[in-house]
Amino acid sequence: MSWKHSFSTSIGKKLQMSFTGLFLILFLLVHCYVNAQIFWNDGGAKFNEAAHFMGNNFLIRTTEIGLFAFLILHIVQGLALWAKNRSRRSVRYQVTAGNKTSPWYRRSMGLLGTLILLFLIIHLSKFWIPNRYAQTFGSGELNLYTRMREEFSITWVVLFYLGGCIALAWHLVHGFYSSLQTLGLTTHKYKKMINGIGIGFSIIVPLVFALMPLAFYLNWII
């Protein structure tokens, strides 16, 4: 069985979702850690230092390319899976079980993912794109801390970011468990632990992210 074939069967596609998803989870952790430097409340000194490192380190910039490749694969494969799975039941049920047989978020990964994608487009266009643009063609790196303060003084932006964090949290609750189930790790012995870590991660990381716009908006930090 060739590699290409191994990854194109239904389990193979799940494996693609799982590997890329786990990589994105790792990225979230790093991103969260770096951005949490704003909470030192030192006018962004520590944060800008970390952001400067992330934006200029050769290895990290190379990984960034991989990150985008994985992100795109995750999105394209995810949407394709959603469409394909929907087409497997052409005549739909008159009455459905709803939440009686499965929690809503497990059935709504496509929708939650799409919401996160919308968030991501706005998010990148506010920070990442202008910064890389300025770095390459303009007058050098932007002060991302100042930029955060400007953006997060606008009410709709803050609300939009909170919405993005909520969608992310629900997506992660299922995504974390699901990716490890796909790798076959959710055995009797590890299931409880994996679920616990997954739920913890899905609450803590989006919560820390959500506190960032709030901290600026409510003037918790200068």
Partner 1 sequence: MEHHTIGLTLKVWRQKNNKAKGQFETFNVKNISTEMSFLEMFDVLNEQLVAENKEPVAFDHDCREGICGACSMYINGRAHGPWHNTTTCQLHMREYKDGDTIVVEPWRANSFPVLKDLIVDRSSFDRIIQAGGYISVNTGNAVDANSLPIEKHRADESFAAAACIGCGACVAACPNASAMLFVSAKVSHLALLPQGDPERKIRSVNMIEQMDKEGFGSCTNIGACEAECPKGISLENIARLNREYLGAVFSGDSQNA
Site for partner 1 in 105-144 (CB under 8 A): 106-107, 109
Which x/- pattern over 43-82 shows residues binding partner 1 (rule: CB under 8 A)? --------------------------------------x-
User: What is the 3-state secondary structure of 148-178?
Assistant: HHHHCCCHHHHHHHHHHHHHHHHHHHHHHHH
Rounded distance between C-alpha atoms, residue 61 and residue 66, angstroms? 9
Instruction: List the one residue from 32, 181, 195, 197 that touches partner 1 (CB under 8 A).
Output: 181
CA 42 from centre of chain: 27
* Residue number, 152 or 201, with CB nearest to partner 1: 201
Q: Which is nearer to partner 1, 96 or 139 (CB)?
A: 96
**Residues 4-43 as x/- pattern, contact with partner 1 by CB under 8 A:** --x--xxxxxxx----------------------------
Tokens standing for residue 97: 């079980």
Residue closer to partner 1 (CB basis): 59 or 91: 91
Question: For residue 92, which phi and psi values (nearest 5 degrees)?
Answer: -90, 160
Question: Any contact of residue 187 with partner 1 (CB under 8 A)?
Answer: yes
Q: Please give the DSSP secondary-structure letter assigned to residue 93.
A: P
Q: Which listed residue (174, 198, 212, 221) binds partner 1 by CB under 8 A? A: 174
Cα distances from 141 to residues 54, 55, 124, in angstroms, run 12, 9, 15
